[in-house]
Each structure stands twice: as C-alpha cells, then as structure tokens.
Amino acid sequence: MKSKKITNMKKRKTCEVIELEANRIAEDIVKKYKNVDVEYHLKTRYGMNEGAVGA
C-alpha cells in the first residue's frame, strides 16, 4: 500500500511549515506500520515460533 500524502502536499508559506507537516505525515505512516507489524506478530505468533524470547 503506497501513501501519496507527502508527494501530494500543497504549497505552504514556509519551508518550516512544509517540514513540520511532512514529518507529521511520516510519523503517522511509521506508527501505522508498526501497529500492523505488532498485530501480525500477535496473530501469527511469528517471533515465538522462530525462537524469539521476550523480556
């Protein structure tokens, strides 16, 4: 699944505003996929099946 949110950003008044908005979008994307990863591992018990040991 590709996200076009950053490439589709509109013009902003300053570079700082662009940077803040792009960083927020990127953080949201990273958070989303971290959650997807956690859900996958909980659902499949992948790490447990591969011998991973939790703390």
- Confidence label for 52 from pLDDT (cuts 50, 70 and 90): low
Q: Which residue has the higher pLDDT, 2 or 42?
A: 42
Report pLDDT for 1.
Answer: 54
For 26, the domain range is 15-48
Buried b (16+ CB within 10 A) or exposed e, 38-50: eeeeeeeeeeeee
Is 33 a domain residue? yes
Is 54 a domain residue? no
Is 1 a domain residue? no
Is 26 a domain residue? yes
Q: Which residue has the higher pLDDT, 2 or 10?
A: 10
Number of domains in the chain: 1
Query: Could you report the per-residue pLDDT of 12-46, keeping only the tens digit for each?
Result: 999 999 999 999 999 999 999 999 988 888 888 87
Question: What three-state secondary structure class fits 52?
Answer: coil
Is 23 a domain residue? yes
For residues 50 and 16, give the distance between their C-alpha atoms in angstroms, rounded to a whole number. Answer: 44
Is 22 a domain residue? yes
Is 8 a domain residue? no
Is 53 a domain residue? no
